[in-house]
């Protein structure tokens, strides 16, 4: 009987350690559920502009990546898209040498500026980071991308512009009968 009691006690302890009570399953603590048991890089990419710009306008692109996993990411390789139709300038913080390993909760950021030279629709492609864990398993993280429309915009119509256009229309409408009268008097009657 003593062995049987000890077996029940040990079984109950095991169940409690595993998070399972006699009344059913209990969830594991939320801290453990939220953690990924591997390196996991999350990339956030955003721009400081609307998605409609004019030629010659400079847009800043920000990239932030964080290891949200519980293990260190090793040998990360950051790949930014190739920009063929616009120029990239003012790169800040992009230094792959400091990214040999990215520990849990570590965050790195960089930014760059692009200038759109001519009108068109362009895509700022995704940033990709490939990395591996301590065992050499390879992972890839990909950011969002942005589509930009580059065009010259008409200036907005103001109330002053609307009133000026209305005044010109009224004057032209009022002048039409006068012009017709003068043409009739001097051109057609003058020939008789």
pLDDT at 42: 93
Based on the domain organization, do 94 and 180 belong to the same domain?
Answer: no
Q: What's the pLDDT tens digit per position in 15-35? A: 333 333 333 333 333 344 355
pLDDT at 171: 85
The number of distinct structural domains making up the chain is 3
Residues of the chain with pLDDT under 70: 1-36, 83-98, 153-157, 190-192
Based on the domain organization, do 17 and 51 belong to the same domain?
Answer: no
pLDDT at 134: 92
Based on the domain organization, do 82 and 134 belong to the same domain?
Answer: yes
For residue 15, the surrounding DSSP H or E stretch is: helix 2-17
List the domain range (segments joined by +) for residue 163: 158-192
Closest alpha carbon to 52 in 121, 115, 111, 112: 121
Q: Sort 65 into a burial class: Cβ within 10 Å, 0-12 / 13-18 / 19+.
A: buried
Q: What is the DSSP letter of 72?
A: -
Based on the domain organization, do 111 and 19 belong to the same domain?
Answer: no
pLDDT at 103: 92
Task: Determine how β-strand 52-53 pairs with β-strand 146-150.
Answer: parallel
pLDDT at 185: 82
């Amino acid at each position: 009987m003593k062995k049987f009691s000890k077996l029940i006690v040990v079984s109950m302890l095991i169940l409690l350690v595993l998070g399972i009570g006699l009344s059913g399953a209990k969830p594991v603590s939320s801290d453990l559920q939220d953690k990924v048991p591997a390196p996991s890089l999350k990339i956030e990419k955003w721009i400081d502009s609307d998605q409609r710009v004019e030629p010659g306008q400079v847009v800043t692109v920000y990239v932030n990546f964080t290891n949200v996993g519980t293990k260190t990411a090793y040998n990360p390789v950051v790949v930014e898209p190739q920009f063929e139709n616009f120029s990239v300038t003012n790169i800040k913080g992009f230094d792959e040498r400091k990214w040999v390993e990215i520990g849990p909760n570590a965050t790195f950021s960089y930014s760059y500026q692009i200038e759109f030279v001519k009108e068109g629709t362009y895509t700022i492609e995704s940033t990709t980071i490939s990395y591996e864990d301590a065992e050499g398993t390879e992972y890839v993280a990909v950011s969002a991308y942005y589509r930009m429309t580059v065009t010259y915009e008409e200036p907005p119509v103001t109330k002053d512009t609307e009133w000026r256009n209305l005044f010109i229309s009224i004057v032209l409408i009022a002048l039409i009968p006068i012009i017709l009268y003068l043409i009739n008097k001097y051109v057609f009657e003058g020939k008789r």
